[in-house]
Amino acid sequence: MTKKEILSKTENYVRDKLEGEGSGHDWWHIHRVRNTALKLGEEENADLFIVELAALLHDIADHKFHDGDEEIGPSTARNWLENLNIDEPVIDHVTQIIRDVSFKGADVETPMKTIEGKVVQDADRLDAIGAIGIARAFAYGGHKGRELHNPGITPESHDSFDSYKKSTGPTLNHFYEKLFLLKDRMNTKAGHKLAEERHRFMEEFVDQFLDEWDGNYES
């Protein structure tokens, strides 16, 4: 099987599983991450086959929808790739990227071991910020039944993945607990440059949100 055939089959597999999902972790999230990762990968001279496979499979079984199981994503991807008779070093590389890609808390380091992992992580994080990131945050908050905002519940700085996974705070807290932190955690120069503009947009949005929440307006 050629690389093109492997990627085509994987795209169809992921699309069939995630199309129509309503929490912001749908096929179109995968599509955007794949395209951004490939652009970053070209600039960084990464192995684009690894980049595309990992980007396509990075959310195939997200822990958030499987009782916090951190291994279900890598294991699901491994099963798929083994069924395609992919070489073991490629499977190991892709599943390691999937295992390490997620944000795990403000005080938790999440280094990527390879340039392929770095560009996929940057692409995934870029899709979590800016206008689309805002939309995805509130889509997920609604999916989980969370309040938009509650001034009585302050944001937390999670010091472990377990505490981060157990967080049930309002959606606006997520901006302080994760989204505002991502700009400075980009791995690549191009990723950081893209993140800066999206970060500024989020800051403006939150300022406007809080002004409207408090009833502030110019006469």
CA 126 to chain CA centroid, nearest Å: 8
- pLDDT, tens digit, 9 for 90 and up, residues 148-207: 999 999 998 877 777 676 788 899 999 999 999 999 999 999 999 999 999 999 999 999
Q: How far apart are the C-alpha atoms of 58 and 101, rounded to whole Å?
A: 8
* Model pTM score: 0.92
DSSP assignment letter at 84:
T
Looking at the domain covering 3-213, what would its CATH class be?
Answer: mainly alpha
Confidence at residue 52, expressed as pLDDT on a 0 to 100 scale: 98
Q: Beta-carbon neighbour count of residue 22 at 10 Å? A: 10
Most confident of 64-68, 100-104, 161-165: 100-104
* Low-confidence winner among 51-65, 71-85, 122-136 (lowest mean pLDDT): 51-65
Confidence at residue 21, expressed as pLDDT on a 0 to 100 scale: 86
Domain boundaries, the chain: 3-213
Owner of token pair 């951004």: 36
Confidence at residue 63, expressed as pLDDT on a 0 to 100 scale: 64
